[in-house]
Amino acid sequence: MTDVAGAGAFTVEVDQNSYLPAGASRVDAVVTVTAADAAAAPAPASEVLEVIVVDCSTSMTGSKIRAARQATMAAIAELRDGVSFAVVAGNHVAQQLFPPVGTVVANAGTRTTATRMVERLQADGGTGIGAWLTHVGGLARQHPGSIKHAIVLTDGQNGESAEYFANALNGVLGTFTCDCRGVGTDWRVDELRTIATSMLGTVDIVADPADLAADFRSIMGEAMGKSVADLALRLWTPRGATVRFVKQVAPTVEDLTDRRTEAARQSGDYPLGSWGAESRDYHLAIEVPAGGVGDEMLAGRVSIVRPGPDGAEEVLGQGLVKAIWTEDTALSTRISRGVAHYTGQAELAEAIQEGLAARKAGDEATATARLGRAVALAEASGNEGTARLLGRVVEVVDAPSGTVRLRKAVADVDEMTLDTRSTRTVRVRGDG
């Protein structure tokens, strides 16, 4: 593993109101993790693996398989010389398209050969996404210590049993990160969201197959800029404390609470995946033993940790979460702007998903209430992108109060786009 980052390579900024009233026990903080310049440079190409999985099931026949070929060729063209890669054709099984087995190092010759093979892709068979993930996991395990990333494209619903798919997904957790794309409107948002969330990647809809190539080019371009693999957020808490949750809240909402693995004493690690020139925000909620007026406590210590060879670890940045008990209500009643903002953004995502589920179930009262609440939250936080998507599903009568009417006719693409992008957040107004 090349040393592209070291101690201090990440800044960890804590936004909280550390003052609590006497007897209070909950501490909330928003932690912003940012790669410093030294950690933002792309990793050496020899330490990067890319796998592109293209749905070649029968439903891809026609414009979608043609667009998938163009998109895959566009992604291949973005590969840096020296990056290891493979292309997989997915139907009810995973068929390695190029190279015949394993992976190959990108150069002008291998990119040309891969492109010629992609031109021959044909649509035939069913859809077995679990088998695709298992295949990619096998390739990823051949590249320990590398940044391992996959793009998975599908246009339909998975044909495997729920048990088979769950076992396959569990079997590859932590082996690579995965960005999922659904083309058209016949795939299931919850299936791809489950994969993307579990594999620390993204999910999005590409409604028009003609837009696939630009999307794949963008994904691969971003992947080529990643610098560090397999980071973790380590949270130490004092004896008697309980971690209520750890959530990524920007650029998207992802609950990491159940992904904790025990580390050192009173410490747990939450996976962050690979990292490039970027900044992300995390909301932590910790219950500590209640204190009295004048007491102070270190409620949490956040460390960004990178695993090293032979079990060694490197701490790349640290921040502290504090608790101070006071009788001054002017201090204890202050609300952290970041905590308040991201609490609302998380509720916004929940309101959209619950509202859409109620609408699909025919429960118009609940759908109207939840989607109305979403409109109000989007308005208050300045989340203009989500507000526009909501406007295609409901008629907005008064945004600040969340007064809406359900639209009678909503295109599938509008509903799926709102659902897919419901977890996207905006940062606090005035922040970068």
What is the reported pLDDT for 38?
Answer: 67
What is the reported pLDDT for 63?
Answer: 95
Burial of 21 (C-beta count, 10 Å sphere; 0-12/13-18/19+): middle
C-alpha pair distances (Å), 305 with each of 11, 198, 232, 275, 385: 12, 20, 5, 12, 33
Res. 3: pLDDT tops 70: no
Q: What does the block give as tokens for 391? A: 């406007």
- pLDDT (tens digit per residue) in 238-281: 999 999 999 999 999 999 999 999 998 899 999 999 999 999 99
What is the reported pLDDT for 430?
Answer: 52
- pLDDT (tens digit per residue) in 108-160: 999 999 999 999 999 999 999 999 999 999 999 999 989 999 999 999 999 99
CATH code of 45-227, in short, is 3.40.50.410
pLDDT interval class at 40 (50, 70, 90): confident
Q: Which residue has the tokens 């990067």?
A: 48
pLDDT interval class at 7 (50, 70, 90): low
Residue range 59-87: mean pLDDT, rounded: 97
Cβ contacts of 244 within 8 Å, gap of 6 or more: 26, 257, 285, 286, 287
**DSSP state at residue 26:** E
Percent of the chain at pLDDT exceeding 90:
92
Q: What does the block give as tokens for 12? A: 């960890």
What is the reported pLDDT for 309?
Answer: 67
What is the reported pLDDT for 307?
Answer: 80
* Architecture category of domain 10-34+229-333 in CATH: Sandwich (2.60)
What is the reported pLDDT for 327?
Answer: 96
Residue range 73-94: mean pLDDT, rounded: 98
Res. 233: pLDDT tops 60: yes
Q: Where are the domains of the chain?
A: 10-34+229-333, 45-227, 337-421
Summary mean pLDDT of the chain: 94
What is the reported pLDDT for 270?
Answer: 97
Half-sphere exposure of 344 (CA within 13 A, CB side): 20
d(CA 126, CA 357) in angstroms, rounded, equals: 27
Res. 432: pLDDT tops 70: no
Percent of the chain at pLDDT exceeding 70:
96
pLDDT interval class at 9 (50, 70, 90): confident
Q: What does the block give as tokens for 195? A: 């994969």
- pLDDT (tens digit per residue) in 11-39: 999 999 999 999 999 999 999 999 987 67
What beta strand segments (E) does 99-176 contain? 104-105, 147-154
Res. 335: pLDDT tops 90: no
What is the reported pLDDT for 73?
Answer: 98
* Architecture category of domain 337-421 in CATH: Up-down Bundle (1.20)
- pLDDT (tens digit per residue) in 297-316: 999 999 999 987 677 789 99
Res. 2: pLDDT tops 60: no
Q: Which residue has the tokens 């490039």?
A: 276
